[in-house]
Structure 1
């Protein structure tokens, strides 16, 4: 599979986010996965699909289950050490999608990687206009308001101030 050029460029700039003080750098305090984490999760998901395909062969087409597609590249995890859910880049369409280990409703993510990163940059540049999430600092670390513990909200300082 060909890795899309925008993803290769991102990985050349930074090969993942190990987090700081339990928080990661992306909106929602999500983490850009390290290359090792991407490789491990991709293999695990593809193995799960191979297992599911043994049952899919006996199922009618409308009842077949897709766990993972070969063109899906895991990209963003719930946190630096939590890959229970996150975003993948569909190399076939160029759009981001969501996965969850718990089969929760993942909804539709219609951003491309470029629009996702541009929106994040806009939120950082003009935090007062941020719609999806609000960037701020706790102890000098970038922290997104939507995913902090309410007990820490008093420590959070908006970048808009």
Structure 2
């Protein structure tokens, strides 16, 4: 199902509500994952990033970053499905520049390639948001500032996934899954000690300690 982006004020409220549900659940059920979340970024820092990258940051992402500035992860794993992690603003800036440099190189090569063989590794409107792990950038999700839909990047040319998510619908789904794990479709949530760990990327060394959520 495709979800159309909503007006700014509605989006800001929905992002805040979804993130509050996520952090409340983590605080009471997975305190180690909760403790790994960074404090919200100042509005001035978000605006400075916007100016530095010369890109408009959509209201949904601006709201999320004002609530948390990233996820340091637990043993390298973040609290989002697939044990992915919300990137810090510094990581966003570094990765965006790296990808734009890679695209500039491809553009030089594309000038000599036939149109059907041209390569796009990154677009100027793509803002990296979520990475494979707290310090792993091999794949992740970006927010397209021009459409406000999420997309996937991958060093290994993995598929983009099914359907189109906005940041709002993604976070609402993430909030739903630990609360109603029997209905979870993206991934299977569970606990290892005080950390939220998702079944799709369960470390074999954790299998004996992983407790899948039920209900």
* TM-score (normalizing by structure 2): 0.70
Between 38-47 and 21-30, report the one with greater CA deviation.
21-30
Could you tell which deviates more after superposition, 86-95 or 147-156?
Answer: 147-156
Does residue 87 of the first structure (1) align with residue 170 of the second (2)?
A: no
TM-score, normalised by the number of residues in structure 1: 0.92
Q: How does 1:127-138 map to 2 (within 5 A)?
A: 127-138=181-192
Give the aligned length: 160
- Asked if the contact 2:100/2:123 (under 8 Å) is kept, the reply is yes
Give secondary structure in 2 for the equivalent of 1:67: coil
Residues of 1 paired with 2:183 and 2:107: CA distance? 46
* Equivalent residue, structure 2, for 1:5: 59
- Deviation above 4 Å: which 4+ runs of structure 1? none
Contact preservation (8 Å) 2:110, 2:119: yes
Residue 28 (structure 1) aligned with residue 74 (structure 2): no
Matched, 1:107 2:176: no
Partner of 2:6: none
Aligned residue for 2:95? Answer: 41
2:122 corresponds in structure 1 to 68
Larger helix percent? 2
For structure 2, the residue ranges without an aligned partner over 5 or more in a row are 1-54
- What's the C-alpha RMSD, in Å, of the aligned pairs? 1.4
Residue by residue over 1:7-26, the C-alpha shift from the partner in whole angstroms, topping out at 9 and shown as x without a partner, is: 00010100111101332110
Structure 1 unaligned runs (5+)?
none
Q: State whether structure 2 residue 195 is matched by structure 1 residue 155.
A: no
Give 1:117's match in structure 2, choosing from 171, 177, 182: 171
Q: Which has the higher contact order (CA 8 A, sep 6+)?
A: 2
